[in-house]
Amino acid sequence: MRALVAVKRVVDYAIKIRVKPDKSGVIKQNVQHSMNPFDEIALEEAVRLKEKQIVKEVVAVSLGSSKSQETLRTALAKGADRAIHVEVEEAMAEKIEPLLVAKILRKIAEAEKPDLILLGKQAIDDDCGQTAQLLAGLLNWPQAMYASVVEQESDKTFIVTREVDGGRESIRIKTPAVISADLRLNEPRYATLPNIMKAKNKPLEKKTPSDYGVEVAQQTQILEVTEPPVRKSGGFVEDVPSLVVKLKEVGVV
Amino acid sequence: MNGIRLFSSHLQRQHNILQVASRFTGTLVLAEHANDKLNPITLNTVNAASRLGEISVLVTGSNVANIAEQMAKVEQVKRVFVADHEKLKHQLPEYVAKAVETLQKQHKFNYVIAGASTFGRDVLPRVAAQFDSAPITDIITIHNGDTFTRPIYAGNALCKVKSNASVKFLTFRATAFKPAKESGGDGKIEKAPKIDFSFSGVEFLSQELLKSERPNLQSAKVVVSGGRGVGSADNFKIIYELADKLKAAVGASRAAVDAGYVSNELQIGQTGKVVAPELYIAIGISGAIQHTAGMKDSKIIVAINKDPDAPIFEIADIGLKADLHKAIPELIKAL
């Protein structure tokens, strides 16, 4: 069985982002970037399936500027066997929408014939949460979104527990299938120094969208990016009785 | 039906574009429900969608006649399509998507819309892919027929976008729109066209839903939320007690969920639920951006934390620096 994992390079989750004064986006220069946390979880799951000998090969894919190669090297260091980088110019990388990513992943899936495609449930920059569903739709494959448990049942079936609004839901999916990882699926490992060194020799193939016959088009135009309205702190109260007084004043209690 | 682009091109004045659009465009709203009960998010979605044209609703499921009737009475709803089939019983996205796709092919709505819940997020992009349309998710503001604002970076920036998609697939954040009235509508109920369900890659097995007497987290007027500072699953009892006193829903930070104090359905934040109640009481929550993304639109925020430097105090209307184990029982007594 082969697993394809899509990983995205994003501004690190711990960074407090700042909006550009010209409102064209957020400041990304000289800002720490890393692998999208949900993609780390998706990758970890693929590597664990390999360790259980369910999966033979893990292929990591990233679409983005040349800097996305760092993210792919990280994926290789964490256990992916090889990587595919679909490169676009940096200016374009800012504007890529999930539909384009899904279209390219479909072409890669057609070429690589994976049994499972794993993705994070959303990227923490655009917060779209669409790519996995779009991809499953394009391929007409079953989709198991927001997975918190993935267990192989037979050669061609997996039981997936999904985190849904009211609780949990269990489904059986037949491969090939698309899975998106929720936070509680696993605890991703750290890449060790020897593995980081080894990752340098693992194959990393470079492609462009046109290699896959996909036109880089945009349906969504970003008009402006602004700061959200700032909430002001209302200060402290001394003790519980004065808290109760305040709550009664505003009429919520 | 495909009026908005045609019409807006020779309509130079922008100010009344919404009214104009509403007479010429068709909008399909996906109704969300569970076990014969309509999910309130559908009402928020209908209200938001009413700004984008005449509303039709699709109800999918098995034995859902009562949901269809409820939807037909909702203000602004003109038509209700019912796709009633055994295959749709558990509303797996693969089958619901087929139902939406079939209906869309026949009626060519300008907009296909759902609430930004698990259901909507699951289904909507899957259908959008069939129409080569880039969806826009989690919209909080509608500027006009093709321009919307949505939060990015965990709500730390707002992004205004213009969609050029011929059919627009959108999800709306429930807390950003008021619910439509459940009465006053006189929608016509129709059978949805016959759907080809020949897909066998997925099967529903079981569901484990959190049962609670408390109000629904996303529609509650008051939310009491606990974080890592609560200390243990056992200590969470005082959070529930306070919530009961205030008839409030209970929420939690990701740290509390990860520590196993409560189950993940209660998580509020970027990757959990988004709430905007009248009163939000954050107890033992530091206020990481991941969390504040899910609650900072609450009307009044109260924070109780023993660390006066906790970032939650920067956005709280009322702060109390105190040990929650002492303060909460005292507060319960005082209320």
In tens, the pLDDT along B173-225 reads: 999 999 999 999 999 999 999 999 999 999 999 999 877 788 889 889 999 99
Among A28, A127, A238, pick the best mutation site for testing chain B contact (most B Cβ within 10 A): A127
Residue B12 has pLDDT above 70, yes or no: no
Q: Considering only residues A212 and B2, tell me which one the structure prediction assigns the higher pLDDT.
A: A212
Q: What is the ipTM of this complex?
A: 0.96
Band of residue B16 on the pLDDT scale cut at 50, 70, 90:
very low
B236 vs chain A: nearest CA distance in angstroms?
Answer: 19
Distances from the Cα of A55 to the Cαs of A30, A74, B256, in angstroms? 38, 20, 33
Kindly write down the DSSP assignment for every residue of B49-86, as one continuous string: HGGGSEEEEEEEESS-HHHHHHHHHSTTEEEEEEEE-G
Which tokens hold the place of B263?
A: 């189950």
B94 min Cα distance to partner chain A (Å): 7
Residues of B with CB below 8 A from A19's CB?
A: 157
B24 pLDDT band, cuts 50/70/90, is low
What's the pLDDT score for residue A46?
A: 98
Query: How remote is the C-alpha of A234 from its chain's centroid?
Result: 37
User: Is B26 within any annotated ligand binding site?
Assistant: no
**Alpha-carbon gap, residue B38 to B253, rounded angstroms:** 27
Cβ separation B206–A130 shorter than 8 A: no
Does residue B11 surpass a pLDDT of 50? Answer: no
Predicted pLDDT of residue B13: 42
Identify the domain containing residue B291 by its residue range. 222-334
How far are the Cα atoms of A17, A207, B155 from residue A13, in angstroms, in the given order? 9, 28, 13
* pLDDT in the model for residue A252: 79
Distance from CA of B73 to the nearest CA of A (A): 26
Residues 168-187 of chain B with CB under 8 A from chain A are none
Supply angle C-alpha A136, A140, A143, rounded to 5. Answer: 40
Angle at B163 between CA B161 and CA B165, to 5 degrees: 160
Which three-class secondary structure state does DSSP give residue B301? strand
Q: Reduced to 3 states, what is the DSSP secondary structure of residue B90?
A: coil
Predicted pLDDT at B271: 86
Q: Is residue B201 part of a domain?
A: no
Helices A240-249/B324-334 angle, 10° precision:
50
Predicted pLDDT at B61: 97
Looking from the CA of A61 toward its CB, the CA atoms found within 13 Å total 25
Query: Does the pLDDT at position B3 exceed 60?
Result: no
The answer to whether residue B20 scores a pLDDT higher than 60 is no
pLDDT at B17 (0 to 100) = 45
Tell me: do B292 and B249 sit in the same domain.
yes
Q: Which residues contact B333 (CB under 8 A, 6 or more apart)?
A: none
What CA–CA distance (Å, rounded) separates B226 from A179?
31
pTM for this one? 0.92
Contact (CB<8Å) B205/A172: yes
Q: Are residues B236 and B313 in the same domain?
A: yes
Co-location of B62 and B116 in the same domain: yes
**In this predicted structure, what is the pLDDT of residue B36?**
79
Mean pLDDT, rounded, of chain B: 92
Domain-embedded: residue B46: yes
How far does the CA of residue A59 sit from the closest CA of chain B (Å)?
23
Each domain of chain A, given as residue ranges in start order, spans 2-226
Tell me what pLDDT residue B8 has: 41
**pLDDT, tens digit, 9 for 90 and up, residues B257-309:** 999 999 988 999 988 999 999 999 999 999 999 999 999 999 999 999 999 99
Higher-confidence residue of B20 and B84: namely B84
B263 reaches A (C-beta below 8 A):
yes
Look at chain B and report how many structural domains it folds into: 2
A195: left (phi over 0), alpha (psi -120 to 50) or beta: alpha
Domain A2-226, CATH: 3.40.50.620
B172 and B242 share a domain?
Answer: no
> For residue B318, what is the domain's CATH number?
3.40.50.1220
B186 and B92 in a common domain: yes
Tell me the mean pLDDT per 10 residues along chain A, length 253: 98 94 96 98 98 98 97 98 96 92 98 98 97 98 98 98 93 98 96 97 97 94 95 93 93 80
Residue A232 phi/psi, 5° resolution? -100, 145
Neighbours of A248 (CB within 10 A): 11
Q: What is the pLDDT of residue B143?
A: 98
What's the CATH code of the domain at B85?
A: 3.40.50.620
Which of A168, A183, A236 faces B319 most closely, judged by CB atoms? Answer: A236
Could you say which of B176, B191, B206 is where a domain stops? B191
The radius of gyration of chain B from alpha carbons, rounded to an integer in Å, stands at: 22
DSSP tally for chain A: helices H, then strands E = 7, 13
Contact status, residue B272 vs residue B295, Cβ threshold 8 Å: no
**Do B180 and B315 belong together in one domain?**
no
Nearest alpha-carbon partner for B138 in A122, A60, A109, A230:
A122
Interface of B with A in 118-137 (CB under 8 A): 118-119, 121-130, 132-137
> For the residues B116-128, what does the mean pLDDT come to?
97
- CB atoms B125 and A133 under 8 Å: yes
Whether the CB-CB separation of B59 and B157 falls below 8 Å is answered with: no
